[in-house]
Amino acid sequence: MIRLEDILTPGRALVGVPGGSKKRVLEQIAKLVATDLPDLDSQDIFESLIAREKLGSTGFGNGIAIPHCRLAGCTSPLSAVLRLDAPVDFDAIDGAPVDLLFVLLVPQAATDEHLELLRQIASMLDREDVRQRLRQAPTSASLFQAVVDAQNGR
């Protein structure tokens, strides 16, 4: 079983990301991933994330969104976590603006893997103590460590 900490890198955990709008945040996610993985095109990532959002918001509630999509050219699942400097409207299920985003990109053919990773993320973020630690992480490195700790039951 793939675990979230296996597909998230310290370089894809960012604190203080400028918000602005849902579209702007998705653009920034696409650029972040494409910078880290030059084989993937930022425009393709952005368009795939937007297409998924058109099916229904990935706003999870409690100020969290889990933008995710299947992506041609993606050879293995990857994740990113961002904490925005100011919350943005993400059409979340509870109407709350979003300041924490967990991103999941999976290969076009991934099915069970994709669903299992989404379940892991949702289960972790369902815990108030985890959300609080993620929101209080002062640096990108400590944000990454908070995710790893949460995955390991700490």
pLDDT band at residue 110 using 50, 70 and 90 as cut-offs? confident
Of 137 and 150, the structure prediction assigns the larger pLDDT to 137
pLDDT band at residue 1 using 50, 70 and 90 as cut-offs? low
What b-and-e string marks burial along 36-65, b requiring 16 or more CB atoms within 10 Å of the CB?
ebeebbbebbbebbbebbeeebbbbebbbb
Give the start-to-end residue ranges of the domains of the chain: 4-149
Place of tokens 């993985």: 37
Is residue 89 within 8 A of residue 97, CB to CB? The reply is yes
Specify the pTM: 0.91
Q: Hey, which residues are catalytic here?
A: 68
Residue 53, pLDDT score: 93
pLDDT tens digits for 23-46?
A: 999 999 999 888 877 788 999 999
Helix axes 112-125, 128-136, angle to 10 degrees: 80
What is the arithmetic mean of pLDDT over 15-19?
Answer: 92
CATH 3.40.930.10 fits 4-149, yes or no: yes
pLDDT tens digits for 47-94?
A: 999 999 999 999 989 999 999 998 888 888 899 999 999 999 999 989
